[in-house]
Structure 1
Amino acid sequence: MAQSLTPVLAPPEPAGIRKGRFIGVVAGTAVFYGLTLLMLKKQWYKKSVPFHTFNDNREWLQMDKVGHSATAYLMSRGGYELFRWSGVNERASILTGGLLALLFQSTLEVYDGYSEGWGFSKGDMIANAAGTALFVGQQYAWGEQKVNLKYGWRKSIYAQYRPNLLGKTTGVQLLKDYNAQQYWLSMNVASVLPVGPQFPRWLNLAVGYSGSGMIGGHENPRVLDAAGKELHFERYRQFFLSPDADFSRIRTLNPSWQRFIGTAQFMKIAAPSLEYNRLNGLRFHPLLVGKE
């Protein structure tokens, strides 16, 4: 029965480059790159110091490293889909998407190297390369993404204790509060297992990772509650298992919508999940991962 399934591969290549789309994609990419770096330079990297490195591999239970990989994966896929949409051939689009992701991420690392509060991180660069390789390797080997990297988020209780570090607003916490984030490897079941022709092609199974109890990078500083009592937070890792969906595999969608949805659904959908951590053992979440 598995042999009767038709693989969902990349849509057929256009006859050639579509000039208007191609010019728009190249121009838009250049503007996005330039404006983003300009804004970061003004808002984030205000004070420059001599170039230096920084080993942050043991910080945040490695949540920041997983985040780097997920960002590089998303940018690689986004660049690829845009250039395929503009008519660039498959192999060139794969290479272009991967190189653009590495260029953007590497530029940020160089900025970090000249920043007083950070430094150039070899660990971050390895994570960037890993996320890019996950996309590029699958696309070259199979012409599709059997495994996606996705992002999940729930508001945590920890940002209030160090708002300057973890974020004062929800928008900032989306990027800086690692307690609130989850990262998921979402595998398309029908792409890797011998299922029947009636099996839903869009159904995925996702394995997630997160950390909790963190109000500092390496360790938690001393904090007090409103009554002046010292608070102690235990740092621990969390592992999840949950169903997911890849809506870009719905057969009735045209190729442009498949490309858009495949890139845009970077967020893990809300679904029941099982969690394991060393403090609480096995837990069930009926819809969203609970706030803690």
Structure 2
Amino acid sequence: MRVAVLLSLAVAIPGHSIRAQPIPATPIPSTTDPAGIREGRFIGVLIGTAAFYTVTLLMLKKQWYKKKVPFHSFNDNREWLQMDKVGHAATAYCMSRGGYELMRWSGVNEGASILTGGLLALLFQTTLEVYDGYSEGWGFSKGDMIANVAGTALFMGQQYGSGQQVVTLKYGFRKTIFPPYRPNILGRTTGVQMLKDYNGQQYWLSVNLASVLPVGPSFPRWLNLDFGYSGSGMIGGHDNPRVFDQNGNEVKFERYRQFFISPDADLSRIGTFSPSLQRFIGTAQFFKIPAPSFEYNRVKGFRFHPLILPKE
């Protein structure tokens, strides 16, 4: 569900921020832009944000929160090998960055834009958690809230501290063999599986090498190194229920974690792009670019993937 919002943000938000300034290489003081707040843009952003918030919550309430019960909490920290928690952090990170970009595009100063982006992300995510607390199928999760705060803090801390995003969070997906065994849980179509099949999702911590290593002027500023995490063999949250193939034979899957390392590119740092295009790309580049990768997991050991991860 959070990933659904995140995917829509990755498409919708950049369209509003395409004219913003490029991500700086040095810290930005928290002062008002020389041009000041651009009233037309600012009002448009306020109206658009309020509309997005209202419409999205109404849609989620209709589709996901049909059965209401007294407010309650539950502990889901051990579910899905914590893939959902990483997804919460990535969603909060992307929403914080998107809100920040919209404010900067509107002429709001750096410090206020960072704060507004973070608060908007936490407001949205907290509202969803409260909805969960009243939902029959879920409950208010402290673990989810911690992940939401962590994703927001990752964006705000970097932007306040260095004026740039040295570390970003990205998303990847591949088809897996597991949804047919529990289509109601993992999804029947590819689009739904991108949101619900945690076996197919990967989350990447992408580090810009030129920002953390003592490199020379000829080193490519756009080169990143990504560290990925995923899980496999999961057809249930805590444990796998019994499932059978078409011949009636029981099928068992072993649950295990997967760790990846892969090169990547931060296209927003390519100097030949215009400032507006750099800002657009920085906001929209949520998906991991396919590239060779090394994987380690305790079941299959070390593996090399030439381009995209194989179907499992």
Which of 253, 258, 268 is matched with 1:233 structurally? Answer: 253
Structure 2 gap ranges (5+): 1-23
Asked if 1 retains the 8 angstrom alpha-carbon contact of 2:28 and 2:163, the reply is no
Structure 1 residue 252, shift from structure 2 partner: 2.8
What are the equivalent positions in structure 2 for 1:145-164 lying under 5 Å apart? 145-164=165-184
Report what 1:4 is aligned to: none
- For 2:179 and 2:196, how far apart are their aligned partners in 1? 9
Structure 1 residue 200, shift from structure 2 partner: 0.8
Deviations 1:109-165 (A, max 9, x none): 000000000000000000000000000000000000000000010011101110000
* 1:32 match: secondary structure: helix
Structure 1 residue 258, shift from structure 2 partner: 1.9
Which of 48, 70, 74 is matched with 1:50 structurally? Answer: 70
| Higher mean C-alpha deviation, range 183-192 or range 8-17 | 8-17
Which of 279, 289, 292 is matched with 2:309 structurally? Answer: 289
Supply the AA of the counterpart residue of 2:178.
Y
What are the equivalent positions in structure 2 for 1:50-69 lying under 5 Å apart? 50-69=70-89
Which of 176, 181, 187 is matched with 2:207 structurally? Answer: 187
Which of 182, 206, 210 is matched with 2:230 structurally? Answer: 210
What are the equivalent positions in structure 2 for 1:1-292 lying under 5 Å apart? 8-9=25-26, 13-292=33-312
* 2:199 match: secondary structure: helix
Report what 2:12 is aligned to: none
Structure 1 residue 255, shift from structure 2 partner: 2.9
- Alpha carbons of structure 1 residues 264 and 10: separation in structure 2 relative to 1, 3 Å: farther
* 1:211 match: secondary structure: strand
Supply the AA of the counterpart residue of 1:181.
Q
Structure 1 residue 253, shift from structure 2 partner: 2.7
Asked if 2 retains the 8 angstrom alpha-carbon contact of 1:80 and 1:93, the reply is yes
Deviations 1:1-32 (A, max 9, x none): xxxxxx72478945211111111111111110
Deviations 1:75-118 (A, max 9, x none): 00000011101100000000000000000000000000000000
Structure number with greater CO (CA < 8 Å, separation at least 6) is 2
* 2:258 match: secondary structure: strand
- Alpha carbons of structure 1 residues 10 and 80: separation in structure 2 relative to 1, 3 Å: farther
- Alpha carbons of structure 1 residues 279 and 132: separation in structure 2 relative to 1, 3 Å: same
- For 1:88 and 1:19, how far apart are their aligned partners in 2? 10
- For 1:65 and 1:112, how far apart are their aligned partners in 2? 15
Asked if 2 retains the 8 angstrom alpha-carbon contact of 1:85 and 1:256, the reply is no
- For 1:225 and 1:204, how far apart are their aligned partners in 2? 42
Asked if 1 retains the 8 angstrom alpha-carbon contact of 2:28 and 2:110, the reply is no
Q: Kindly tell me the number of residue pairs found equivalent between the two proteins.
A: 286
- For 1:132 and 1:142, how far apart are their aligned partners in 2? 16
Structure 1 gap ranges (5+): 1-6
- For 1:228 and 1:69, how far apart are their aligned partners in 2? 40
- For 2:276 and 2:114, how far apart are their aligned partners in 1? 17
* 1:269 match: secondary structure: coil
Asked if 2 retains the 8 angstrom alpha-carbon contact of 1:8 and 1:249, the reply is no
